[in-house]
Structure 1
Amino acid sequence: MMKLLMAVDKRDKFRFFTSPVTDQMAPNYSKIIKQPMDLSTMKSKVERGLYDTWADLQADIVLMFTNAKTYNAPATMVHKQADALLTGGLKMVRNFKQGKTKLRGFTGAWRQRCRCSSV
């Protein structure tokens, strides 16, 4: 599970999902997003053995990217990257569940979906 999160983290090129979002970073975030999630929280949960199944981890991945898409307008880089990483992340979870842990091939597809060249 940690390997998967590290791969998602590596593809978060603007570091949008690395750590918890604060209201100082995103005004009224805590009023809009009731269940925040980020990669550092998920990594901590893996280290503490709090994910019993791949479905539990997948739920937090979906939550993190859905939160970003809920808070940020569709035209923003955050929303676009969340959409691309969600698609790629779910594909990775499916592959990991099937025992396929090679991560090659995901980077190009994610770049094409995101087409994020700058913030």
Structure 2
Amino acid sequence: MTTDDEYFTSSETATPTSARRLNANSSDQRQKAWQKNINLLWQEIANHKNGTMFMNPIKKSYAPLYDKVVKQPLYLKTIKNRVRDGVVKTTAEFERDVVLMLTNSLMYNKEGTEMYLMALEMLDDVREQIRLFKSADSYSVSFWENETRQ
């Protein structure tokens, strides 16, 4: 009996179509597990002491030129929605969005200002959180690959 045969009843045989379905199911499981884990990372980032500053779009009254200077504004809630909606599907895409959100703030705010320093501090902390996540995620990816091969 092959490893694929374990997933089929006696009335089914392992066909290329059923093998693709099995791979699609394991891919869906991996994606759901990744989403669950990335949402935990998102929560850690949102709970950062400066996280509330990046939760929602900035009010025009606080930064009237923000839309003119920043071409791709991003906020924590937007990033969470992009993960939920399947726009962001990988850790690299998640990292890109979070880093862009914070570098937007660095670009808009004058160096040395309180907001600039908050964004810089959060960027350093977030990069470390993402590094740790990637390290743990590489273990889970190898786990899933081993599970689907058995």
Query: TM (normalized to structure 1)?
Result: 0.77
Identity of paired residues, percent?
A: 31
Report the alpha carbon displacement of residue 52 of structure 1 after superposing the two structures with TM.
1.7
Letter in 1 for 2:65: N
SS at match of 2:52: coil
Preserved contact between residue 22 and residue 30 of structure 1 (Cα < 8 Å): no
Report the alpha carbon displacement of residue 14 of structure 1 after superposing the two structures with TM.
6.8
Equivalence for 1:85: 122
**Deviant stretches of 4+, over 6 Å:** none
Equivalence for 2:39: 2
**Bigger mean CA deviation after superposition, 16-25 or 81-90:** 16-25
Q: What do the CA deviations read for 1:8-55 (whole angstroms, capped 9, x no partner)? A: 111144721010124233111100001001101011112112212111
Equivalence for 2:58: 21
Name the structure with the higher helix share.
Answer: 2
| Alignment: residue pair count | 100
C-alpha RMSD over aligned residues: 1.5
Check if 1:67 corresponds to 2:110: no
Equivalence for 1:11: 48
SS at match of 1:5: helix
Preserved contact between residue 57 and residue 75 of structure 2 (Cα < 8 Å): yes
Q: Which runs of 5+ in 2 are unaligned?
A: 1-37, 138-150
Equivalence for 2:140: none
CA distance in 2 between partners of 1:13 and 1:36 (Å): 17
Check if 1:30 corresponds to 2:30: no
Query: TM (normalized to structure 2)?
Result: 0.62
